[in-house]
Amino acid sequence: MERFKDKVVVITGGGKGIGKACADRFASEGARVALLDIVLADAEAASQSIGTDRSMAVYCNIADHQCMHDSIQQVVDKWGRVDVLVANAGIYRGFPLAEDHLKDWQLVMDVDLTGTYLSCHAVAPIMMAQKSGSIVVMSSIAGKTSWPDSAAYSAAKTGNIGMVRSVAQELGPYNVNCNAVCLGHADTEMLRSVDARICQENGWEPGTYLKELTDSNPMRRLGTVEETAALIAFLASDEARYINGQAIEIDGGRIMS
């Protein structure tokens, strides 16, 4: 399949995890991919593995308005357009409500909510001028349900879904669709760090929380980054042009909301 032949795809958080899997998937389907990441070395390594003729690594902190704008400008200077944005970069911080974690709350809001807004904001005028484009935002099942210690993450990921609905209506008339992906659990560094924290707090063996997530999932396994990248690529493809403003779960059937 070459659904993205010569299209320009921007992926935030493209240096590892789901973002890197997206970069590999879009590149394998003919796209030129820009990997924006706060850890430039990871973005560079991911770009090297794809091939620097078809990819570029850009330092970007999505929570920084000017930095986000400059990063997109670098892509446009090099390739002249942006066809797809995968607003994927995000962080997780878990903390009990009764403890004082205002800094963690603010960080999650800055990155997961404001950063995702700034990512969409930066590409909007470009896609509107092109009269074409596609935006896929990485939300989470935490945007549709929640669990203890996740007030900040859930609030931000629910906010992502609300934002997507507004963006979908605003950019739809310009032939730009916008959807959210609500992932359950995929085996990445982020999920392993959540496991490490929860297991340490409870005095469990490392991996116990991951095993519990696996055993309680209807499909008895975690998701893979490749499965998530496949859904994101579908949503960004011409096959999904009429899907707009949706928040689609990929979670093995965990929440079925």
Cβ atoms of 19 and 88 within 8 Å: the answer is yes
Taking the least distance from each CB to ligand NAD, the nearer of 63 and 155 is 63
Binding part of the chain for ligand NAD, among 12-20, 74-82, 170-178, 196-204 by CB under 6 A, reads 12-20
Which position among 31, 75, 138, 161 is part of the footprint of ligand NAD (CB under 6 A)?
138
**Helix, strand, coil shares, percent, the chain, to 5:** 50, 15, 35
Is 209 a catalytic site residue? no
Q: Tell me which residue of 158, 154, 191 sits closest to 17, measured CA to CA.
A: 191
The Cα–Cα gap between 139 and 154 comes to: 9
Residue 119 in the binding site for ligand NAD (CB under 6 A):
no
Max CA pair span of the chain: 55
Distance CA 163, CA 221 (A): 30
Stretch that binds ligand NAD, among 26-34, 74-82, 84-92, 236-244 (CB under 6 A): 84-92
Residues 36-55 contacting ligand NAD, CB under 6 A: 37-39, 42
Of residues 237, 178, 199, 256, the one with CA closest to residue 31: 237
Sites for ligand NAD among residues 161-180 (CB under 6 A)? none
Supply angle C-alpha 148, 154, 157, rounded to 5. 160
CA 117/CA 178 separation, integer angstroms: 12
Of 91 and 127, nearer to ligand NAD (C-beta) is 91
Of 59, 92, 117, 153, the active-site residue reads 153
Query: Considering beta carbons, is residue 130 or 246 the nearer one to ligand NAD?
Result: 246
x/- binding map, residues 203-232, to ligand NAD, per CB under 6 A?
------------------------------
Question: Where do contacts with ligand NAD occur on this chain (CB under 6 A)?
Answer: 12-13, 15-19, 37-39, 42, 60-63, 88-92, 111, 115, 138, 140, 183, 185-186, 188-191
